[in-house]
Amino acid sequence: MQELIEKIRADIAAGIEKAENGTRQELFELKMKYLGKTGEISALSKGMRDVPAEQRPAMGKLVSEVRAWAEEQFERTETLLKKKELEARYKSERIDVTMPARFAETGTLHPVSLVKKEIIECFEGLGFEIYEGPEIEKDYYNFQALNIPADHPARDMQDTFFITEEFLLRSQTSSGQIRVMENKRPPIKILSPGRVYRSDSDATHSPMFHQMEGLVVDKGITLCDLKGILDEFARRMFTKETKTRLRPSYFPFTEPSVEVDLSCHNCGGKGCRICKGTGWIEILGAGMVNRRVLENCGIDPDEYTGFAFGMGLERIAMIKYGINDMRYLFENDVRLLKQFKD
């Protein structure tokens, strides 16, 4: 048995010498070969019962010594390998501070956000306050108070996302006008931006889009005041030569109602592909606030009048930046967004 112990010691020494240039996994496998539960040194301990009784103390001492020596050798070698691995890791992860820094690419505002910011700045300069209403709205504010009762055919003009019979995803920011008129007495001059939702999706429509509503209520407000405000908006938003044109239309919450066209900024009104040869581009709807809407909000229509207008921000962005498909605005294509960097 003594010869076996010496052979094991020699094998361990040779194995550790080789393991010093290997990996910790290889060292672990070597350690288990000798010190594991079924290892060779453990087998020596189990074989002590076959040793004559008078030799057991001496053999037991030799087995204990070789075990202690082996554990010390394995621990020393593992410490050495840990140190080597750490040095190799430091070397591979070392940062060369003399190398040029990586280019940190900056982002930019989305074209819809740029248009929203520009429109708000335009109307704030004209004395408008900003009001943002809730996106989950009551049927009363989205329809009924705007002169669109439950059986009104105008509800068919837009396919609405209802949550319950009472609540819905607002289909227009006009609901914010009602909330303001209920809680504030004239004079009122507000701009209400926000997301709206309709079940519609194609190249010029999206189930979620952004609107900007304007409302002015005071004594003696006329359609001429509306025309003047929109003229100024068009000149600030597009070019100083941009003109506006009002065409009769219908909205249940305004009377009279108008569609507002802008002279094409691309051709100056001469006719081109963008304006389909007409020289004009439809941009928003507007009109004088319906008497019933004022009455619903507790405002005397015989004393006060007002006008309202609403525009889609995506449509403004498409016209301003020459984008021909609204879906491009929601695809998060970096190639498109990079074009709007300063």
pLDDT for the residue numbered 301: 95
pLDDT for the residue numbered 113: 92
pLDDT tens digits for range 14-27:
888 888 888 888 88
List % helix, strand, coil for the chain (3-state, nearest 5). 45, 20, 35
- What average pLDDT does range 173-192 have in this prediction? 93
pLDDT tens digits for range 123-162:
999 999 999 999 999 999 999 999 988 887 767 666 788 8
Selected residue with higher pLDDT from 209 and 17: 209
pLDDT for the residue numbered 203: 62
pLDDT for the residue numbered 3: 72
pLDDT tens digits for range 71-109:
888 888 888 888 888 888 888 877 777 878 777 777 788
User: Long-range contact list for 297-302, CB < 8 A, 24+ apart?
Assistant: 297/145, 297/178, 297/181, 297/182, 298/181, 298/182, 299/181, 299/185, 299/186, 299/217
Percentage of the chain exceeding pLDDT 70: 93
Confidence of residue 204 (pLDDT cuts 50, 70, 90): low
Backbone angles phi, psi at 194, to 5 degrees: 160, 170
Report the candidate in 120, 245, 148, 133 with the shortest Cα–Cα distance to residue 181. 133
- What average pLDDT does range 215-224 have in this prediction? 96
Orientation angle between helical segments 2-19 and 24-35, nearest 10 degrees? 170
Residue 50 above 70 pLDDT? no
pLDDT for the residue numbered 293: 95
pLDDT tens digits for range 288-326:
999 999 999 999 999 999 999 999 999 899 888 888 888
pLDDT for the residue numbered 73: 85
Q: What is the DSSP letter of 161?
A: -
Does the pTM surpass 0.75? The reply is no
Q: Is the peptide bond before 187 cis (omega within 30 degrees of 0)?
A: yes
Residue 4 above 80 pLDDT? no
Selected residue with higher pLDDT from 36 and 162: 162
pLDDT for the residue numbered 257: 95
What is the side-by-side order of every strand in the sheet holding 244-251? 129-130, 188-197, 208-218, 305-312, 280-289, 254-263, 244-251
The total of other beta-carbon atoms located within 10 Å of residue 237's CB is 20
What are the angstrom distances between the C-alpha of 162 and each of 138, 165, 262?
10, 7, 34
d(CA 161, CA 81) in angstroms, rounded, equals: 66
Region of poorest pLDDT, from 133-147, 174-188, 209-223, 323-337: 323-337
d(CA 279, CA 271) in angstroms, rounded, equals: 4
3-state secondary structure of 330: helix
Residue 201 above 80 pLDDT? no
pLDDT for the residue numbered 342: 61
The DSSP bridge pattern shows strands 305-312 and 280-289 to be antiparallel
Confidence of residue 1 (pLDDT cuts 50, 70, 90): low
Residue 53 above 80 pLDDT? no
203 near 305, Cβ under 8 Å? no
Task: Kindly calculate the radius of gyration of the chain based on its CA atoms and give it in whole angstroms.
Answer: 41
DSSP for 211-271 reads EEEEEEEETT--HHHHHHHHHHHHHHHS-TT--EEEEEEEETTEEEEEEEEEE-TTTTTS-
d(CA 308, CA 130) in angstroms, rounded, equals: 14
Selected residue with higher pLDDT from 317 and 2: 317
pLDDT tens digits for range 244-284:
999 999 999 999 999 999 988 777 778 877 778 888 989 99
pLDDT for the residue numbered 154: 67
pLDDT for the residue numbered 49: 67
